[in-house]
Amino acid sequence: MPRARTAPDYVFIAIVGLLTIFGLVILASASSDLAKTRFGDSYYYLTHQLLYGLSFGIAGFVAGSLIYHGRLERLAMILLALNVVALILVFTPLGFGAKGASRWLSLGGASIQPGEFAKLTFIVYLAAWISRKSASRTKSVAEGLIPFLLMTGVTLFLILIQPAMTTALILGVAAVATYFASGARISFIAIILLAGILGATLLVYLAPYRFERVLSFFNPERDVLGESYHQNQALIAMGSGGATGVGYGKSTTKLNYLPEPIGDSIFAVIGEELGFVGTTVVILCFGVLVWRGFVIAHHAAYTFGKALTIGFTTIIGLQAFINMAAISGLIPLTGVPLPFVSYGGTALATFLTMSGIIVNVSRYRNG
């Protein structure tokens, strides 16, 4: 195992810590009334996030930051295989879902989302696959483009049929970014992007609820009590906050008006309670996190570490952008959580583990 030559990226560590702590603080506010109504305990969701998200997330972050990331290369196939099995198991009696989606596994009283873990395991496998034969796998059609399309397509298919289109989109874009940053031909990337755009367009058109969501985005008054309701309530919450917000814990839209105030709508609660200032700080934090992630990738000593960091940083940055842009009315609502902030133990544990691995990569630098 190579010896670490530099100190870890402390700016990256600090931003991850700030976002995680902030997420717990804002979750305590966003979830209190909902938890009281459903479970008779205002801190139910916060406690659950601490026990099943933060605890495993800290363990993953510490392990990822201290154990040499190169060891993951030897485990890549095993990790991906286990995750593929888990993605299949969501369609068995072990799986359960809500609102027509099968995305969770029930194991020993706990629920996990294999689709979240797939963001980590697939990027680990892809980075290992690229780094072993970088020259041929980024330049050859037979050894590179076709295998890339097959393994990415199978993984995304298992996520799409849950259905979880936005999760598949995020992972797909991250895979393409990783492949491109590792030296793939421009022609390969063009083919992949064209296929992705055509596929995404077809998926939206063929699924009535997705098509309705797009139509409602362009015409918010079209179905104010249906597809447009969520978007309109999010905009009301954001607008109510003004410059500095109505005050921590004083949101009114989270009281049975705003759907999913602890999930994909938590950015709207931030906007209402902390205002433009609060949302701007959150956006800046994610901006700095992505910047430091790409800097770490640029200076990574090894191809595997560079590919890992590009993939993980793209996932975190793209998911944050999609969530905040959707809640702000810039793109149609997607249903993805805000990294480090939204409720969800599997997501928090996954993002913290990714971050820990990025920190480890930052300790092995060229120049």
CB atoms within 10 A of CB 17: 14
Q: How far apart are CA 172 and CA 198, in angstroms?
A: 14
Q: How high is the pLDDT of residue 101?
A: 60
Per-residue DSSP letters for 11-71?
HHHHHHHHHHHHHHHHHHHHHHHHHHHHHS-TTHHHHHIIIIIIHHHHHHHHHHHHS-TTH
Which tokens go with 140?
């050859």
Q: How high is the pLDDT of residue 86?
A: 84
Q: How far apart are CA 341 and CA 337, in angstroms?
A: 8
DSSP state of 92: S
Residue 88, amino acid: I
- Domain ranges (residues) in the chain: 10-362
**What are the contacts of 196-203 at 24+ separation with CB within 8 A?**
196/172, 200/165, 200/169, 203/160, 203/165
- Alpha-carbon 178 to chain mean position: 16
Q: How high is the pLDDT of residue 87?
A: 87
CA angle 200, 120, 231 (to 5 degrees): 45
pLDDT per residue, tens digit, the chain (367 aa), is 555 677 899 999 999 999 999 999 999 999 999 999 899 999 999 999 999 899 999 999 999 999 999 999 999 999 889 888 888 888 887 777 665 566 777 776 677 888 888 999 999 999 999 988 776 777 888 888 888 999 999 999 999 888 888 999 999 999 999 999 888 889 989 999 998 899 888 888 777 777 777 777 776 666 666 667 888 888 889 999 899 999 999 989 888 788 889 999 999 999 999 999 999 999 999 999 999 999 999 999 889 999 999 999 999 999 999 999 999 988 888 889 999 999 999 999 999 999 999 999 999 987 5
CB atoms within 10 A of CB 11: 15
SS3 91: coil
Which tokens go with 109?
């009283």
Q: How far apart are CA 126 and CA 101, in angstroms?
A: 27
Q: How high is the pLDDT of residue 66?
A: 94
- Alpha-carbon 60 to chain mean position: 16
Q: How far apart are CA 49 and CA 104, in angstroms?
A: 16
